[in-house]
Amino acid sequence: MKKTGWLLWLLFSGTALFAQSLQKPKLVIGVVVDQMRWDYLYRYEARYSAGGFRRLLREGFSCENTFIPYTPTNTAPGHTCVYTGSVPSLHGIAGNSWYSRQLGRHVYCTEDSTVQTVGNLSVAGKMTSGNMWASTSAAGKMSPRNMWASTITDELRLSNNMRGKTIGIALKDRGAILPAGHTANAAYWYDNGSAGFISSTYYMQELPQWVKNFNNRKLVDQYMSQPWKPLYPLNTYVQSTSDDKAYEGALFGEDNTFDHRTDMLTSAKYEAFRTTPYGNIYTIEMAKAAIEGEALGADSTTDFLTVSFSSPDYIGHTFGPNSIEVEDNYLRLDRDLAQFLQYLDAKVGKGAYLLFLTADHGVAHVPGFAEEMHVPAGTSSEALLRKNLNEGLQKEFGAANMILTLTNYQVFLNNDTLAKKGISRQAVKEAVIRLLLQEQAIAKAFDLENIAAAALPERIKTMVVNGYNQKLSGDVQFLFKPQWFEGGKTGTTHGVWNPYDAHIPLLWFGWKIKPGRLNRETYMTDIAPTVAALLQIQMPNAAIGNAITEVTTGAVQAQSPAAKR
């Protein structure tokens, strides 16, 4: 009797003490919303629920002026920067893809020919002999090996002698692989062929049973059996233009207006799934399955779960930030997040997990919409610029194909041709800059090898230097005018220095975080050092950011209007 009483006392006092002063969080959850602009926190706020973004703003700490400190502002460098605290100049992920002079071709950020797909079911979803899933797809030939730096997820694993676990989840391979780092137990990404999550032999030889069970639930078929209807009557989406606009893209085999008949799609249904808000809840379901399947946050050794929501990016590219589709996506994501936070409270415990939410980049308005509003805007294409450059250079120097390629708004000279013909690189670079400046789309062009001399505002110069990788970048960089980008007549994109691409949300929530709001400027590179400081572990090995110390003291600036509701 006495013994039981003592045990009970120990149990209860222990639990109470635990919740009050956990030495470490049981779980860290890094959330990236692909393409979420900072202003979406407030633009759609009136119809956000109490438990989603508003809860993060009310109970958490918001860094209101967080910027990406480099170009190109794309998905792979973005996820890498969040988790390494570093920039393309140092971490080696110079774009979603980049041109390798060594290989003479473009390289995809997470490609790895030495590994195989694990778990692809696309061979009619059948099991092959034994208990192995057929692995025929190239979608799984991926790993983090092209990333030069360690991630905060690596540093956490190294800090506890690999006793904690790291799992990365996203529809996009790069959104799952780069955050989870080199030492991850696993990264899982979505495969169009099998409408399920796959991985690669970098991590494992076979999917764990819990992933097979998850894939066998056939959730994508369930989601895609219903049309995507707006949550509210269309005329109540006052933050968006009317539904039918010629400058909006269309879903695969569908059109640009509600209801989106995803249930009627016959071809590319599983690929089109990415461009629906169901991709978000599907990602959350997979995250929950991972927490349960891997017992994440179940003991006192800190685990790390990285979650990236890819669908907002696909939807944003197709329909643009002023579309009902984007507004509806964020209202739904908000509800999904509320549900996920409730789940984490119940499963891991309130205050026992640390969560941050940010974005890998923002997005520009659709040029057609901007023009409709009399905002100067336009598009051009790197193919066209390359053609014009090659023609201009041939006239001047008498040699054909002097430009190898244009990528990430950079020009790569054909060094072999120049050497063979004895043409000066310096003279060609000067001619390239002169020719580029004749293009309507282009505002600035400069020599990347001599960037200190470029007449650029300091802020932009810093971003270009941080993005410039001497081994992977081109020779001449050009900047388009604001609201101009490489693209076509419909939809939109991101990738440049401008605030619409570079200003991202950054919210902290849970373990050790005090409610508050910070208006001083912070950077994407500060996220990993802040997590390192909170966890009292080593910073990633190429980190150049600073810990945001205010997150544990809170209330730096007046609370946001949302916090008062």
Give all strands of the β-sheet with 476-480 in edge-to-edge order.
403-407, 410-413, 476-480, 442-447
The DSSP symbol for 275 reads G
Is 75 a catalytic site residue?
A: yes
Task: Report cis status (omega within 30 of 0) of the bond before 259.
Answer: yes
The site map against Zn ion for 12-31 (x = CB under 5 A) is --------------------
Q: Which is nearer to Zn ion, 24 or 37 (CB)?
A: 37
Q: What's the closest the beta carbon of residue 189 comes to Zn ion, in angstroms? A: 15
Beta strands in 246-339 (DSSP E): 303-309
Q: Which is nearer to Zn ion, 48 or 314 (CB)?
A: 314
Q: Which is nearer to Zn ion, 30 or 495 (CB)?
A: 495
Q: Which is nearer to Zn ion, 174 or 182 (CB)?
A: 174
Instruction: Please report how many Cα atoms fall inside a 13 Å half-sphere around the Cα of residue 279, on the Cβ side.
Output: 31
| Residue type for position 49 | S
Q: What's the closest the beta carbon of residue 463 comes to Zn ion, in angstroms? A: 18
Residues 514 and 517: their CA atoms lie apart, in Å, by 10
What is the Cα gyration radius of the chain? 24
Residues 525 and 523: their CA atoms lie apart, in Å, by 5
Instruction: Give the nearest residue (CB) to Zn ion.
Output: 313
Burial state string for 353-377 with b = 16 or more CB within 10 A and e = fewer than 16: bbbbbbbbbbbbbbbbbbeeeeeeb
Restricting to residues 312-371, name those near Zn ion by CB under 5 A: 313
Restricting to residues 193-222, name those near Zn ion by CB under 5 A: none
The DSSP symbol for 348 reads I
Kindly state the number of chain residues that form the binding site for Zn ion, as judged by CB under 5 A.
1
374: left (phi over 0), alpha (psi -120 to 50) or beta: left
Q: What's the closest the beta carbon of residue 351 comes to Zn ion, in angstroms? A: 34
Q: Which is nearer to Zn ion, 313 or 334 (CB)?
A: 313
| Residue type for position 28 | V
Burial state string for 171-183 with b = 16 or more CB within 10 A and e = fewer than 16: bbbbbbbbbbbbb
Restricting to residues 257-316, name those near Zn ion by CB under 5 A: 313
Task: Report cis status (omega within 30 of 0) of the bond before 233.
Answer: no
Q: What is the DSSP string of 360-375?
A: S---PPPHHHHHHTT-
Q: Which is nearer to Zn ion, 75 or 117 (CB)?
A: 75
Residues 449 and 11: their CA atoms lie apart, in Å, by 64
Residues 353 and 363: their CA atoms lie apart, in Å, by 30
276: left (phi over 0), alpha (psi -120 to 50) or beta: beta
Give the number of other Cβ atoms within 10 Å of residue 350's Cβ: 13
Catalytic residue, chosen from 73, 75, 84, 490, is 75
Q: What's the closest the beta carbon of residue 365 comes to Zn ion, in angstroms? A: 14
Q: What's the closest the beta carbon of residue 162 comes to Zn ion, in angstroms? A: 33
Q: Which is nearer to Zn ion, 313 or 475 (CB)?
A: 313
Q: Which is nearer to Zn ion, 173 or 313 (CB)?
A: 313
Please tell me the chain's helix, strand, coil percentages from 3-state DSSP, rounded to the nearest 5: 40, 20, 40
Catalytic residues: 75
Binding site for Zn ion (CB under 5 A): 313
